[in-house]
A and B are shown apart, each in its own frame.
Chain A
Amino acid sequence: AQSVSQHNHHVILSEAASLELGCNYSYGGTVNLFWYVQYPGQHLQLLLKYFSGDPLVKGIKGFEAEFINSKFSFNLRKPSVQWSDTAEYFCAVHTGFQKLVFGTGTRLLVSP
């Protein structure tokens, strides 16, 4: 079955630290990958997505992710986090018929 694994459930960083959140997927078809962010008390918003082409994808708010097919990974990165990046981050893979399968999420707390 298709699945997405996010091994970091909770991450605590200080402002200006670098961020890398892991995402591994298990899916046999054409891979379309997403990172969504959920700020406290808000709905999910798209950060970035990968469809094809350049495996390094740039998203909003300085986030980027690298698609490494040989490792089945799509890790999210940001060189320098801010307090406002405190949120929950979800990785997702498209599995057909417009459906997405989401990982369990990573809660990021950035201390000022």
Chain B
Amino acid sequence: DAGITQSPRYKITETGRQVTLMCHQTWSHSYMFWYRQDLGHGLRLIYYSAAADITDKGEVPDGYVVSRSKTENFPLTLESATRSQTSVYFCASSELAGATYEQYFGPGTRLTVT
């Protein structure tokens, strides 16, 4: 039971480069989320998806792009990385059925933009 996996776990990139962070879940959960975690800000929602081909902006979407062609995958792309996007990124998933609203988190990707 793999749950949620994220890759890469660590990434260093340069300003201006495009970077894609991958997220894969094995539970077939309907909802998926991307957060960034920064000191003093806690977790902030970047984008979320209610199902394949349905995505919506969260609190801090600028500079990020997402897609969801398959239920199990939810990649996050930084189109032109900036130093302010240095952060730890967490992917999460949630199942609509049962209305528990509980989110299950992946191990995170630590991204450094130089």
Q: What residues make up the interface of A, taking CB atoms closer than 8 Å to B? A: 6, 32, 34, 36, 42-46, 49, 51, 90, 94, 97-105
Partner of A104, one of B33, B42, B58, B100: B42
Residue B48, interface by CB 8 Å? yes
> Which residues of chain B from 34 to 64 have any CB-CB distance to chain A below 8 Å in the complex?
35, 40-45, 48, 50, 58
Tell me the complex Cα distance, A77–B31, Å.
30
- Identify whether the interface residues of A are mostly helix, strand, loop, or mixed: strand
Residue B71, interface by CB 8 Å? no
Q: Which residue of B lies closest to A42 (CB)?
A: B107
B43 touches A102 (CB 8 A): yes
A97 touches B90 (CB 8 A): no
Do A44 and B90 form a contact, CB below 8 Å, given A98-B101, A104-B42?
A: yes
> Which residues of chain B from 74 to 113 have any CB-CB distance to chain A below 8 Å in the complex?
90, 92, 94, 96, 100-103, 105-108
Considering residues A100, A101, A103, which has the most beta carbons from chain B within 10 angstroms of its beta carbon?
A: A100
Q: Which residue of A lies closest to B91 (CB)?
A: A43
A105 touches B105 (CB 8 A): no
Partner of B48, one of A32, A99, A102: A99
A residues in contact with B43, CB < 8 Å: 44, 90, 102, 105
A97 touches B50 (CB 8 A): yes
Considering residues A6, A51, A98, which has the most beta carbons from chain B within 10 angstroms of its beta carbon?
A: A98
Tell me the complex Cα distance, A51–B50, Å.
22
Tell me the complex Cα distance, A99–B102, Å.
9
